[in-house]
Amino acid sequence: MNLIPVVLTGGTIGAGVALLIRELLQPQPALGPALRRTAPATLTLPEPELDRDEIWGRWLLTRLERLPGVRVPTTNLALLGQGPGQFMLKKTALAALGLLCPVIATIPWIIAGVGLPFYVPAGVGLIVAGLLFITPDLAVRDQAKRAREEFAHALSAYLDLVALKRAADAGPAEALEKAAEVGEGWPFLYLQAALRRARLEKIPPYQALTELSAQYELPVLDDVADIMRGSATDGAAVYKALRARTAALNAELLADQAAEANTASEKMTAPGALLAVLVMLLMAFPAVIRMLTV
């Protein structure tokens, strides 16, 4: 009896059953990735790969965002280039640390035989956890404020460059793009990306600047967009408007720096006065002791 046809038939049937079981057990693919795979390559953009902290942080965010008092400053985080997942993970880790610190601090007291009511470390832990939970919000707010100040300083130099390009009879779009290519800092990179997108999407460059201003809450860009929106063929008029806005922006920045310097000086007044009082007490202490002992 020839066994070859039997073996081939059995193998074919077995392979078909295996493929059928594999197709039945294979989960359905997600619709979004499937559509992106079938879309043209020119229309798809690679998504940034998320690290482990960002993935865990976003998992926490989806479960904590409905709680009262839990919010994520998405605009400030986007300006600083930070992810919301890492931000929420940091907040949660600090809150957990605040809850554990009072409990750990009571262990030596328990070992020494000193009993404390349970509500004392619990209450202190809740207070410390609440304070540590809002600490990242304050830090991100201060960092975003400094970033916007840095952007304003960079924009002052950018306006000068745009004015010079317009004075050289360059077009509005060309002047904006050529001036942005000169700088290398992150504000210039943001400007380059916005203007490049405007060129690819065939939209006016001032519209891209307006959208960039709204996306990252950069009001200093609105004036530049308004000036370039009203630019005509007369480069001298635009040149004067840009130079006037540069002078006004420099005056505002100098005023802000002077105000910050005055605030810092006022904050140093109280510690300086306290130090002077302590020095006077130390100098008078031997004489007072001598008068009291005589």
Cβ(80)–Cβ(90) below 8 Å: no
Q: Rounded distance, CA 14 to CA 11, Å?
A: 5
For residues 243 and 224, the answer to whether their CB atoms sit within 8 Å is: no
Q: Is the pLDDT of residue 214 over 80?
A: yes
Q: Dihedral of the CA atoms 141, 143, 144, 150 (nearest 10)?
A: 150
89 neighbors 57 (Cβ within 8 angstroms): yes
Least confident residue range of 4-8, 77-81, 112-116, 273-277: 4-8
If pLDDT is split at 50, 70 and 90, which confidence band does 273 have?
A: confident
Which DSSP letter does residue 233 get?
A: S
More confident residue, 248 or 118: 248
Q: What's the longest Cα–Cα distance across the chain?
A: 131
Q: 262 pLDDT exceeds 70?
A: yes
Which of 80-84, 100-104, 112-116 is predicted least confidently? 112-116
DSSP notation for 61-99: HHHHTTSTT----HHHHHHHT--HHHHHHHHHHHHHHHH
Q: Which of 108, 125, 225 has the alpha carbon at shortest distance from 172? A: 225
Letter for the amino acid at 211?
E
- Cα–Cα separations (whole angstroms), residue 1 to 5, 89, 250: 10, 71, 99
Task: Answer whether 86's CB lies under 8 Å from 139's CB.
Answer: no
Q: What's the whole-model pTM score?
A: 0.66
Residue 180 has pLDDT above 60, yes or no: yes
CA dihedral 199, 205, 211, 215 (to 10 degrees): 70
Q: How confident is the model at residue 37 (pLDDT cuts 50, 70, 90)?
A: very low
- 35 pLDDT band, cuts 50/70/90, is very low
Pair 160, 240: CB distance under 8 Å: no
Look at residue 42 in the predicted model and tell me its pLDDT.
Answer: 37
pLDDT of res. 151: 92
- 23 pLDDT higher than 70: no
Helix (H) / strand (E) element for 141: namely: helix 119-167
The type of residue at 122 is A
* Lowest-pLDDT range of 101-105, 148-152, 243-247, 265-269: 265-269
Rounded Cα gap, residues 77 and 56, in angstroms: 17
Radius of gyration of the chain (CA): 32
What is the structure's pLDDT at 161?
87
